[in-house]
Structure 1
């Protein structure tokens, strides 16, 4: 490949051999990519959509807003992302990016070494799709984990305020707005990303499933997804509690308004009776 470079082999590989490597960039560019209307480039594979990018690179695109670029140099990346903007909904600016290097070893199996290095026997579209599937899910989990952590950072001081004063002041409404965004995130993750589902390419090439499972374990997708689900469930219950507290406070305020109106009416009635008794 164009930007391949020779590097020293890791300790898991035979010492007499060298490996070639190319760069991989994973970018969360928005909430959604309209992949159906993507006309640029040459389509190499579908489900997920895989196209040519740059002179010799490849791009795998996911409708949940992630692009994985293989062997695309920085200038080509800028051009590619610019041409993609019209198809992106709710863009993330700047895109959230992560990068790594993948090593090529034609005489070896596809694998993840103990050091974390990723080895491919060939940069075929199917292998790139399997790797991109994992990297795309990892990028989305990273994004959601950060958003959930921000909400938890807000919940702690709010709970302390409730404990000390029994009131949450103006923080409640702001937190509810943030919680609403996180719950929308949960809906998008369940409806679009399908973190725990295997890619369709494994149905056609079951020989790649072992490689996929090793990647899934390396990035701890299942464990992180379960933890995120538990946190989202706790946030949902927190939002219900906040809403109940806010509604109870409003109800008490309305009851006080009614009491005050009744007292005013009584006072006015007494004044009227006094005035009538003294013509």
Structure 2
């Protein structure tokens, strides 16, 4: 029985720096991920979108590795985002997918990587879903205020800060959308392809991705509306300033003629 545990520890992990400092030769490494086959049947998978996945590590080992990883993290995640999966290896049984467990008739490094990668994608999705819900809730509050009061009662500075935060979160999610792609190795093996497909269905990856994509589109529409409102508000404010200046200039002209004629 293999115990797979995925943790979202940050929004980004610097894979290059981590590899340079971590003792161990990677089984597979790119600029975006590094996969280690360790002693005693243990595996470690670190992905640049802030996820680390363990197989059969003790609590102390996990804590030590996460503590070490934080030296290479950008924007650590405060909430606990975790995904667990138990994998039973039994040559007498067929490939079977359950809610929180999996039965495989055979296992190797490529199969372990596919399992760990899908688990990582699931916990990343959970993180992005939480971020998406937060920014969508923020835009809903402004929309409700607009409906009730006919305007958004927020200063231009605070509105711009909210728009900036929302855009940053949205860009962070979009930058990592590639995480939901299947690894190239699954196209080279029918067994790995079935394993990957079954895991994606078990974790509901595609449906959750489509829901998140739709949510981001709603947020985008709301952002465009709030940006237009801000521009209109600023345009109106500038128009009144111009009107005020013209009025002052007219008064100066009138008083100038009055006092000028008096002389």
TM-score by structure 2 length?
0.87
Residue 52 of structure 2 aligns to a residue whose secondary structure is strand
Distance verdict in 2 for CA 1:231–1:224, change over 3 Å: same
Q: Which has the higher contact order (CA 8 A, sep 6+)?
A: 2
| Aligned with 2:26 (options 43, 60, 82) | 43
Q: Does 1:151 align with 2:151?
A: no
In structure 1, C-alpha distance between the alignment counterparts of 2:39 and 2:58, rounded to whole Å: 8
In structure 2, C-alpha distance between the alignment counterparts of 1:46 and 1:106, rounded to whole Å: 30
Q: Does 1:28 align with 2:28?
A: no
Tell whether the 8 Å contact from 1:179 to 1:236 is kept in structure 2 after alignment: no
Match of 1:267 in 2: 251
| Cα deviation 1:94-135 (Å, max 9, x = unaligned) | 66323232223232233314x553113344211111111211
Q: Does 1:214 align with 2:194?
A: no
State how 1:240-255 maps to structure 2 within 5 Å: 240-255=224-239
Aligned length: 255
| Aligned with 2:54 (options 53, 62, 69) | 69
In structure 2, C-alpha distance between the alignment counterparts of 1:50 and 1:272, rounded to whole Å: 82
How far did 1:79 drift? 1.7
Residue 4 of structure 2 aligns to a residue whose secondary structure is strand
Match of 1:132 in 2: 116
| Cα deviation 1:164-188 (Å, max 9, x = unaligned) | 2222122633431332123212331
Structure 1: gaps (5+ residues): 1-20
TM-score by structure 1 length?
0.82
How far did 1:213 drift? 0.8
Out of 27-36 and 214-223, give the one that drifted further.
Answer: 27-36
In structure 1, C-alpha distance between the alignment counterparts of 2:190 and 2:38, rounded to whole Å: 27
How far did 1:27 drift? 0.8
Greater share of residues in helix = 2
Match of 1:173 in 2: 160
Q: Does 1:164 align with 2:144?
A: no
Distance verdict in 2 for CA 1:244–1:94, change over 3 Å: closer
Tell whether the 8 Å contact from 1:120 to 1:127 is kept in structure 2 after alignment: no
Distance verdict in 2 for CA 1:157–1:247, change over 3 Å: same
